[in-house]
Structure formats: structure tokens, C-alpha cells
Amino acid sequence: MSEELPEVEFQRFWRRLQQLGLNAYEARSYLVLLGHPRFKALELAARAHVPRQKIYDVLDSLLEKGFAQVVQEKTKLFSAVEPSLAIPGFMARKRHSMEHALTDQGRIGNALVDDLKEVYSEGQGGRGTLDFLRIVTDPSQTGAEYRKMLSEVASEYLEFSRPPYAVDPLGEQLVKQARLRGVCCRILLEATSWDQEHRQSLEEYAAAGVEVRQVDSLPMKLAVFDGREGLIALLDPVITRPTWTAVVFNHEGMGQAMKGLFEEYWRRGRGMAPEPAGP
């Protein structure tokens, strides 16, 4: 292997380069190049233990990724690009590629949502007996359901809020937007000590007309929209790591029952305590 690196160090750097994104042959070849000024392709294959038939593909890839360079064209010789240039450049190109891919996937995903919504609606023509209830365990899906209903609420939004949050209601702009549309917004928080950021959010909510109270404890997480649809999130009592399972409902009777529960706790609630004065 490389004359400059002890075997233990070589193996350690070899693994780390693979974690970065090089394959095993590429990582080994780059480490060998680092320890020598230049190599012919077949010389490098022998030193790096890369099959002769693969070394040109490996070098082409290292050139493309910015880890190697050609230092003589007539009889091609290859050398390593300095790590302080190779690695940041590779990461920047990789980040740009990922961002571009995510942008494309996001565009495809948004178009697919619109197309598949029609398929879904047609498929729901024969409704089952419990189609008004759905169980959601993924926090990101719970957050998406919450934001969708909050963006569409027309008259009233009620919430029991306690951590951990899929969406922190005190950091959600859709609440203020709902209030601007004339929606009655009331949030009941489980009592805790509030940091400066949350206290500022509470002041902004109060200025916008959002009503907020707190109680010592809440039995569940709950959001009710227009007295008909919403989410109930219950803490799983079986496993040790706190996990919430959400039930999404669209049922007038369930909505009214949950609204009655909210009103009972709301009557027990108290206003938010002012921030303690400094010394």
C-alpha cells in the first residue's frame, strides 16, 4: 500500500473516504496517490490493489470527483489533488447535486399529489364503515394533516397543546393566518416554563386575537376544526420511549364531543403569567 501511511492509519482513512462517498477502489487509489508525486495507471493499479481492467474507470471517476488530476498528457500520469481542495469541492458539488435532485423530486411530488388526489377521491366512492377515522403514527404525516386542516379551517380552531410537538402551535404562522381570516382561535397549553422565544410568540398571538390559556396537565393532544374534524394524539403506554399515535377524524359527533371536552378544560384554564421582572 502507501509507503507514507502505516496500515492502521491507511485503513482508517480508507473507511472515512468511503463514508464521504468514494467507493472502495477510489478511496484506496486516492490514498496511494497522496503518498507519491505521480503514477501511471497500471502502476497505481498494482500499488492500490485495484484490478487492472478497472483502474481506468476508477481514475476517470476520481478525475470527475476532483480527487485526481492528469499531470502529463503524452504518457498519462496521475497525481492526487490536495485534500483541502478535493474534499470541500467534492462536498460542494454533491450538495448542489442533492439540492437539484430534491428540487426536481419536489416538483414531481407536488404534481403527483394533484394527479393522485383524483384517483384517491374516485377510489373512496364506496366508503367503509370507519373511513371517518384514520390512524397516523408518523410525526411528519401528523404535522401535514394538522397544517392542512389549519389552512382550511373556516370558523373555529381549538387545541390542547403539550410536548413533544409534531408542530409547535406557538411557532406556526398558519394560526395567525387563520385568525386574520376571522377564525376564532383558542389554544390551551400544558403549564411549563416558557423561554423568551415562546413568550414573544404568546405576545404576538395575543396581539393578533388568539386566545391562550394554560392548565397544570392535559390528558391528550387535541385539535378540533370547525367542530367537525381534527386530530387526537395519545401517548403510547407500552413502550418506554415517548411516542404519540394520532387519530384523524372527520365526524360531527366526534367533533362535538371533543369540543365539549375542550370547553371543560378551558373553563379550568388560567391566563398566561407575565414574564418575571428583572432584578
pLDDT tens per residue across span 138-155: 778 888 888 889 999 999
Reply yes or no on whether the pLDDT at 26 is more than 90. Answer: yes
* Non-local CB neighbours of 36 within 8 Å, separated by 6+ positions: 2, 3, 47, 79
Per-residue pLDDT tens over the stretch 229-261: 999 887 765 554 556 688 889 888 889 999 999
Q: Are strands 184-190 and 211-215 parallel, antiparallel or unpaired?
A: parallel
Question: How far, in Å, are 187, 222, 229 from residue 248 at the CA level?
Answer: 19, 10, 8
Q: What are the residue ranges spanned by the domains of the chain?
A: 7-81, 133-271
Residue of higher predicted confidence among 36 and 240: 36
Reply yes or no on whether the pLDDT at 128 is more than 70. Answer: no
Question: How far, in Å, are 31, 70, 83, 168, 256 from residue 4 at the CA level?
Answer: 10, 22, 16, 54, 75
In whole angstroms, what is the distance from residue 215 CA to residue 259 CA? 17
- pLDDT number for residue 218: 86
Average pLDDT, the chain: 81
Residue 2: band (very low, low, confident or very high) from pLDDT cuts 50, 70, 90: very low
Report whether CATH 3.30.9.10 matches the domain 7-81: no
In whole angstroms, what is the distance from residue 67 CA to residue 60 CA? 10
- pLDDT number for residue 108: 80
Q: Is the model's pTM score more than 0.75?
A: no
- Average of per-residue pLDDT across 40-50: 90
Of 260, 263, 235, nearest in space to 247 by CA:
235
Residue of higher predicted confidence among 23 and 244: 23
At residue 17, φ and ψ (nearest 5 deg) are -65, -35
Q: Note the CATH architecture for domain 133-271.
A: 2-Layer Sandwich (3.30)
- pLDDT number for residue 62: 92
Residue 73: band (very low, low, confident or very high) from pLDDT cuts 50, 70, 90: low
Q: Are strands 244-250 and 229-235 parallel, antiparallel or unpaired?
A: antiparallel
- Average of per-residue pLDDT across 8-37: 89
